[in-house]
Amino acid sequence: MSVTQVPGGSSVSIDETVSDPTIHSLDEIDEGDVVVGGPDPMPFVISGGKRRPIQSLEAFQAAGFEASQVKVVGDPKLEELPIGKPIKPKPGAAVAVRRFDSADVFLGAGHYMRTWGTLNLGSGHIAAQTHIRTITWFGGYHGASTVIFADTDDAPLHQTESRRYGVDGTLVGTSSRTTAWWEDMSVADAASVKEINIFHTWAPDSFQTILDRWVAAGKSIAELVEEASKVAKVVTTFV
């Protein structure tokens, strides 16, 4: 399992495309394991020799699973396990969450990014995935995603780590990758979230410079959107 713990923070990422000798083979999957596999994975829990889909992040959280339990499985034989009944939250155990999804964002030159996930209002836990891809033959690129949660006055409450990813052209390497990541914000701030802004950029260094300057100036989200418009695209969800 490829897991990164950011120093001084609580964010974790699992990258399904990294070549990692510790990736679990099918023989190492045990009863009760939570596993993901594939370019756009749905989590499954192994139960009775079957893989039971965990169809929502609410169900994942309500079942008491932790991010550290997830195994990234590279063996295609996982697909041969029969599918069991989905894991669903028990009645009355629903977790209050806010969903966000940028959908597929076209960055130009055949490059695309998408970030989607949920914010748990009870714990401030953010669970998300980012997909980066290109349809160009030889022209790979590096992109980055940043999610900023804001209140009703367009003031930022929490800014996630800027996560950078790289892909190759379709004829020269890995042209598509999906990374699952987790991060936490304070419960008080989570309760005040009214809009979720997902920034995708094809120029991570330039965007980071703009972002750092914006943070230091204490400006609104709208001002950041305007300043970063030449190197990034933003999708805003109102909650």
pTM of the model: 0.66
Helix segments in the chain, DSSP class H: 57-62, 187-191, 204-217, 221-227
Specify the DSSP element, H or E, that contains 179.
strand 176-184
pLDDT at 210: 97
Specify the DSSP element, H or E, that contains 128.
strand 125-134
Domains of the chain with bracketed CATH: 3-80 (no CATH), 97-238 (2.60.40)
Read off the pLDDT of residues 161-196 as tens digits, 9 standing for 90 and up.
Answer: 999 999 999 998 899 999 989 999 999 999 999 999
Of 156, 109, 116, residue with least CA distance to 135: 109
Residue where the block lists tokens 């959908």:
103
pLDDT at 201 over 90: yes
Question: Who's near 1: CB < 8 A, 6+ residues apart?
Answer: 14, 20, 22, 23, 24, 70, 71, 72
Give CB contacts under 8 A, 24+ apart, made by 36-41: 36/70, 36/71, 36/72, 36/73, 36/180, 37/72, 37/73, 37/74, 37/75, 37/78, 39/131, 39/176, 39/177, 39/178, 40/129, 40/131, 40/178, 41/16, 41/178, 41/180
Cβ contact 111:136 at 8 Å: yes
More confident residue, 27 or 173: 173
Read off the pLDDT of residues 60-117 as tens digits, 9 standing for 90 and up.
Answer: 777 777 777 788 776 676 777 888 888 876 665 555 788 899 999 999 999 999 999 9
pLDDT at 38: 60
215 pLDDT band, cuts 50/70/90, is: very high
DSSP lists the bridge partners of residue 70 as 34
Task: Go through 49-63 and write b for each residue having 16 or more CB atoms within 10 A of its CB, e for each that does not.
Answer: eebbbbebbbbbbbe
pLDDT at 59: 77
151 pLDDT band, cuts 50/70/90, is: very high
3-state secondary structure of 127: strand
- Measured between alpha carbons, how far is 100 from 200 in angstroms, rounded to an integer? 14
The tokens describing 136, both together, are 């160009």
The tokens describing 184, both together, are 């936490």
The tokens describing 141, both together, are 């690129």
Q: Would you give the end-to-end CA distance of the chain in angstroms?
A: 34
